[in-house]
Amino acid sequence: MCGNNMSVPLLTEAVTVSAKEKETAVVIFLHGLGDTGHGWAETLMEIQPSHVKFICPHAPSIPVTLNMKAMMPAWFDLMGLKPDIPEDESGIKRAADNIKAIIEHEAKNGIPPHRIILGGFSQGGALSLYTALTCQHQLAGVVALSCWLPLHRSFPSVRSHWKRSHIASTRHTVNECRTFKPECCCLPLKTTLLHLTISLSGVVLMKSVLCLYLQASSGNKNIPILQCHGENDCMIPPHFGVMTHEKLRLIVNPDLVNFKTYPDLSHSSCPQVLHRRLCVMLCCVINQIQTYLKTLTIAKLCPPPPPPACALKCVL
């Protein structure tokens, strides 16, 4: 099936670098504030595997509050570069929807989402993180360079959710189920009522409930994420990267989040970051994820096995 780029606004002007052989994987890479996709396309071509297509879209020109409302390419408006500064929520979500449209377009043209890597630099990296974590599909991975996680407060903490739910719910025995009030549990009503009927030795199997709940509500918690940040970055300070890393470890499987810092590197990329780590991720992770998905358990009351250790460890 051959899709029409005209139906996806960002694709009509995007820089697309076709694969040298049959395309079986795609990398969508998002540039930073005030930039275009051209420079990144040239850089990525130097590490392009023969079966991978690169798509480097251009952000639209919009007034940016941070730069005195000057018109420039930006994925969304920026009010400032501090953790407590208000964010352009509608603009971030609109931009994420545009990137998701590219993902859907590629999926319709034969590239499954688990063979798509999303990456970006600075504001583009921020958008890549938000898009991947809110996408209905689980992608092959995310490469986030010198960036942060937008709207970070909107993401629940998987581990804290488990702790609250497990402590609160395991106290209810089968006898207590008759008087149990669903509104007292933080799980969805249908899930709660369904699993209150399952018991073993008088104790409700809420651990199984939670496994299903987390799989349904956090479908992207097993996505590999590679973060890279310069230690001399004055634009997006290193502690932004550290805070983002800590937050990501609460949202997704912490074993799949890798954070690398680079001495003497300012707010820019360098061959050390791209040519070594991104290339390894392209060649290894995108294939490991496919293998992992084939071996996932189909038992609904059991959590899936952990991803292969080499899926992201290989980029170290």
Looking at the structure, tell me whether residues 96 and 224 fall in a common domain: yes
* Cα gap 126→156, rounded to integer Å: 18
- Which pTM was predicted? 0.71
Average pLDDT of the chain to the nearest whole number: 74
| pLDDT value at 81 more than 70 | yes
What is the pLDDT, as a whole number, of residue 316? 28
| pLDDT value at 191 more than 50 | no
- The residue with greater pLDDT, 84 or 2, is 84
Let me know how many helices (H) and strands (E) the chain has, helices first. Answer: 13, 11
Looking at the structure, tell me whether residues 126 and 242 fall in a common domain: yes
The percentage of the chain sitting over the pLDDT mark of 90, rounded to a whole number, equals 50
Looking at the structure, tell me whether residues 127 and 183 fall in a common domain: no
What is the pLDDT, as a whole number, of residue 64? 97
What is the pLDDT, as a whole number, of residue 241? 93
Looking at the structure, tell me whether residues 62 and 163 fall in a common domain: no
Tell me which residue has tokens 């709940």.
213
* Cα gap 204→307, rounded to integer Å: 29
Looking at the structure, tell me whether residues 42 and 151 fall in a common domain: yes
What is the pLDDT, as a whole number, of residue 204? 37
Looking at the structure, tell me whether residues 179 and 148 fall in a common domain: no
What is the pLDDT, as a whole number, of residue 174? 33
Instruction: Report how many domains make up the chain.
Output: 2
What is the pLDDT, as a whole number, of residue 267? 79
What are φ and ψ of residue 42, in 5° steps?
-65, -40
Question: What is the set of active-site residues?
Answer: 122, 233, 267
- The residue with greater pLDDT, 227 or 288, is 227
Cβ neighbours for 124, distance < 8 A, ≥ 6 positions apart: 29, 30, 31, 32, 35, 59, 75, 147
| pLDDT value at 88 more than 80 | yes
Start-to-end Cα distance in the chain: 38
Looking at the structure, tell me whether residues 64 and 135 fall in a common domain: yes
CATH number, position 69? 3.40.50.1820
Tell me the per-residue pLDDT of 138-187, one tens digit each, with 9 for 90 and over.
999 999 999 999 999 998 865 544 344 443 443 333 333 333 333 333 34
Tell me the per-residue pLDDT of 61-79, one tens digit each, with 9 for 90 and over.
999 999 999 999 999 999 9
Full domain range(s) for residue 286: 5-155+219-313
Looking at the structure, tell me whether residues 187 and 229 fall in a common domain: no
CA torsion angle 210 216 219 221 (round to 10): -10
Tell me the per-residue pLDDT of 222-270, one tens digit each, with 9 for 90 and over.
899 999 888 888 889 999 999 999 999 999 999 999 998 888 777 766 5
Cβ neighbours for 34, distance < 8 A, ≥ 6 positions apart: 72, 73, 74
Looking at the structure, tell me whether residues 102 and 46 fall in a common domain: yes
Tell me if residue 28 falls in helix, strand or coil: strand
Q: Which residues pair with 62 in a beta bridge?
A: 72
pLDDT grade, residue 104 (50/70/90)?
Answer: very high
Looking at the structure, tell me whether residues 10 and 138 fall in a common domain: yes
What is the pLDDT, as a whole number, of residue 32? 94
Looking at the structure, tell me whether residues 41 and 146 fall in a common domain: yes
Indicate the residue among 216, 232, 254 that finishes a domain: 216
Looking at the structure, tell me whether residues 16 and 98 fall in a common domain: yes
Indicate the residue among 183, 199, 216 that finishes a domain: 216
Indicate the residue among 171, 193, 216 that finishes a domain: 216
The percentage of the chain sitting over the pLDDT mark of 70, rounded to a whole number, equals 63
